[in-house]
Amino acid sequence: MSENEAALSHEAHMVREKKDLRKRLIAKRDALSKELRRSLSDRASLHALSLIETLAAAAPPRPLPLTLTAFLSFGSEVDTRPLIASLLEGPRPPRLLLPSLRHSKTIVLRPYDRETPLVPGPFGILEPETAESVLASEVDLFILPGIGFDRSGGRLGYGKGYFDRLLAGKSVAGKRIGLAFSAQIADRIPTASHDHPMDYLVTEEGWLTCG
């Protein structure tokens, strides 16, 4: 087998491995009752706030508020509404951004506050109804969704690559935080060179530094 054939075989194996893992982890997440998901989401929100406060306190003093991306939950994902509400109601709210795919094939980060209307995007996920956008290079912290994570920082997305492309810019230096239920944590997430690892992982059990 040539080197090129071996590389293609490895890539095909990884695609199958990711597909099988997605099915298993989505099934585990979907199996959580609505009541349990709500309770676990509240606990994960508190741990995410603790991590954000820890990272903000460790950062050099700056005149501008923290710029932070979050996401609005879809399906059986961790409910991020408690986290977003707490961030916006805090004594020093961050500049909060949410991903948008309306009118674009790549993620556009749009500012969001309590006065910003929300409209459904291409996948039915709510997005801020504003034309304003912010570059990913301005983001201090990325709070990211995923189907699965591992403790080394591996992230398994939905297979479209939207967030990997968002994080791929050379000037994008914000810390990456994976937010999920503990049921979504795998022993190992298969990763490729274009996959961007998480710096931190947050679940209802707490937060940890990846690596």
> Residue 28 — φ and ψ, nearest 5°?
-65, -40
- CA separation, residue 29 to residues 25, 96, 151, 180 (Å): 6, 27, 18, 9
pLDDT given at position 67? 95
Give the Cα separation of 162 and 14 in Å (integer). 18
Q: What residue ranges define each of the domains in the chain, with the CATH number in brackets?
A: 3-209 (3.40.50.10420)
End-to-end CA distance of the chain: 34
| C-alpha 100, offset from chain centre | 13
pLDDT given at position 5? 47
Q: 18: Cβ–Cβ under 8 A, 6 or more apart, which residues? A: 156, 159, 190
Contact present, 179 and 78 (Cβ < 8 Å): yes
Query: Which pTM does this prediction carry?
Result: 0.91
pLDDT given at position 4? 61
pLDDT given at position 10? 61
pLDDT averaged over 10-residue windows placed end to end, the chain, 211 residues: 56 85 96 97 97 87 83 95 93 92 91 95 92 96 97 94 91 96 96 88 98 86
